[in-house]
Amino acid sequence: MIWEIALHEWRRLRAGMMFWLLLAFGQLIIAWLAFAQLESFAKIAPQLKAGGSTLGATDLVVMPSFNSLTLLLLLGIPLLAMGSLAGEIRSGRIAVWLSSPVGSGQIALGKTLGLWLASLPLVLSVSITLAALGMGIALDWPRLALTVAGVLLFSLWLCGLSLCISGLFDHPAAALAASYGILLFLWLLDSLSGPEAAWYWLALLPHTQPWLQGLLRSQDIAFFLSTGIGAVWLASYTLARRRGEI
């Protein structure tokens, strides 16, 4: 049933305008940024080679583009997710979900996976575009694969968090505003405090940057998994409370 709900969510998003706008706009922005980086790289490549630098296209073109993709997902996924629960509540369709013989946890998990499916075309199309550079320039393939895996995990985490926030509001616009507020807070948290602060662990940048530098750290995976599962559980809890199961 989780998979059925995920497919339904994906179909619903695919039928709407927002998905296609995000995909087109996202690809345009990333392609433009990647070409700008590539042009700069082509200009300085002879000097780098002459100076014996180890920096290559992966460092100067691919990773900055993935960094931009991370930002784009941060802005785009809440837009896709805002209607996932808040829209159902506002339209009255939540009545069918809650009166159905499907568990609240299944609904929350299915909708999270559906959102993730909808974010995949952007992530994969950008990844393929950047990997295509490998036809003409030497790329660090293991690092590229690690970064793609990291971005996939990050997008799944964003889907869980955005869905959870969507379930707390009766209006999609309110859910979107709250999502942006919380994500901006997490994004800036590391600059508001030093590594010794207790809440530094929640800061987003220290968990996303290592991937872009080719580091796979268990603490980052643990962060995304634990907070992501927590968010999906909270979404499930809010649905169960509406039903009176809790």
Partner 1 sequence: METLLRAQDISYGPKRRPRLEDIDLELQPGERLGLLGVNGAGKSTLMQVLAGVLAPTRGEVFVLGQPLRLAPPLLRRHIGFLPQRVPAYPELSVTENLNWAGRLRGLQRQALKTAIDDALQQVQLGSVAARLAGSLSAGMAQRLGLAQAVLHHPDILILDEPTAGLDPLQTQQIRELLRQLSTERSLILSTHLLEDVQLLCSSVILLDSGRKTAQHAVTSETDLLAHFRHRADTDGMGAGA
- Whole-angstrom distance, CA of residue 180 vs CA of residue 182: 6
**Residue 10 CB, nearest approach to partner 1 (Å):** 12
Question: By CB under 8 A, is residue 94 in contact with partner 1?
Answer: yes
Question: By CB under 8 A, is residue 98 in contact with partner 1?
Answer: yes
**Site for partner 1, residues 26 to 45, rule: CB under 8 A:** none
Q: Is the dihedral of CA 179, 116, 121, 91 positive or negative?
A: negative
Binding partner 1 (rule: CB under 8 A), the pick from 42, 55, 95, 188 is 95
**Residue 19 CB, nearest approach to partner 1 (Å):** 10
Rank residues 8 and 217 by Cβ distance to partner 1 and give the closer one. Answer: 8
**Residue 236 CB, nearest approach to partner 1 (Å):** 13
Rank residues 11 and 217 by Cβ distance to partner 1 and give the closer one. Answer: 11
Question: By CB under 8 A, is residue 243 in contact with partner 1?
Answer: yes
Which CA distances in Å does 120 have to 73, 99, 114, 128, 189?
A: 10, 31, 10, 12, 27
**Among 92-100, 173-181, 183-191, 220-228, the segment contacting partner 1 (CB under 8 A):** 92-100
Question: By CB under 8 A, is residue 103 in contact with partner 1?
Answer: yes
The contacts found for 26-31 with CB under 8 angstroms, 24 or more apart, are 26/69, 26/72, 26/76, 26/122, 26/126, 27/122, 27/125, 27/126, 27/129, 29/68, 29/72, 30/65, 30/68, 30/69, 30/72, 30/126, 30/129, 31/129
**Residue 228 CB, nearest approach to partner 1 (Å):** 24
Binding partner 1 (rule: CB under 8 A), the pick from 43, 47, 51, 99 is 99
**Among 6-14, 74-82, 111-119, 164-172, the segment contacting partner 1 (CB under 8 A):** 6-14
Q: Which of 159, 179, 157 is nearest to 168 (CA)?
A: 179
The angle subtended at Cα 147 by Cα 208 and Cα 35, nearest 5°, is: 100
Question: By CB under 8 A, is residue 170 in contact with partner 1?
Answer: no
For residue 122, the one-letter residue type is L
Q: At what angle do helices 17-50 and 2-14 cross, to 10 degrees?
A: 90
**Among 38-46, 95-103, 120-128, 166-174, the segment contacting partner 1 (CB under 8 A):** 95-103
Question: By CB under 8 A, is residue 171 in contact with partner 1?
Answer: no
Residues listed for the chain: 246
For residue 227, the one-letter residue type is T
| Token pair listed for 131 | 């990997």
Per CB under 8 A, residues contacting partner 1 are: 1, 4-5, 8, 11-12, 15-16, 91-103, 242-245
